[in-house]
Amino acid sequence: MIDRLEKEVDMLERHLEVLRMVIENEPIGIVKMSNETGYPHHKVRYSLRVLEEENLIEPSSQGAITTDHTHEFVEELDEKVDETVQKLQSMKIEAPAEAEN
């Protein structure tokens, strides 16, 4: 059950790393991102496609660039991550204390 969540978090981490690279280096291409992150080209390409579908980046002839929506997303990101962390914290089930003899 938790395995799927861990995989989603790993994928989100990759998407955000790719977005960070676009923000800091735009325009930037797949090859440069792959070389700098160590992610295979196909994983970078997938992250770029997801980010484009979310309207956070767009392609240009020189590589990926940010959109008008990128800044707003980044401003809200920390708060959304904090809310999700709090929700996950509230899901913890404390282990019962062992019976003392």
Calculate ∠ Cα 45-48-53, nearest 5°.
125
Residue 34 forms part of a structural domain: yes
pTM of the model: 0.84
Residue 53 forms part of a structural domain: yes
Calculate ∠ Cα 45-17-35, nearest 5°.
60
- pLDDT tens column, 30-70: 999 999 999 999 999 999 999 999 999 999 999 999 999 99
Residue 64 forms part of a structural domain: yes
Q: Do 34 and 40 contact (CB within 8 A), yes or no?
A: yes
Residue 75 forms part of a structural domain: yes
- The rounded mean pLDDT for the chain is 93
Q: Given the structure tokens 């509230």, which residue do they identify?
A: 90
Say how far residue 80 (Cα) sits from the centre of its chain.
Answer: 12
23 lies in which domain range? 1-89
Residue 67 forms part of a structural domain: yes
Residue 99 forms part of a structural domain: no
Please give the Cα distance from 64 to 73 (Å, whole number).
17
> How many domains in the chain?
1
Pairing of strands 63-66, 57-60: antiparallel
| Beta strands in the chain, from DSSP E residues, in sequence order | 57-60, 63-66
Residue 21 forms part of a structural domain: yes
What CATH number does residue 57 fall under? 1.10.10.10
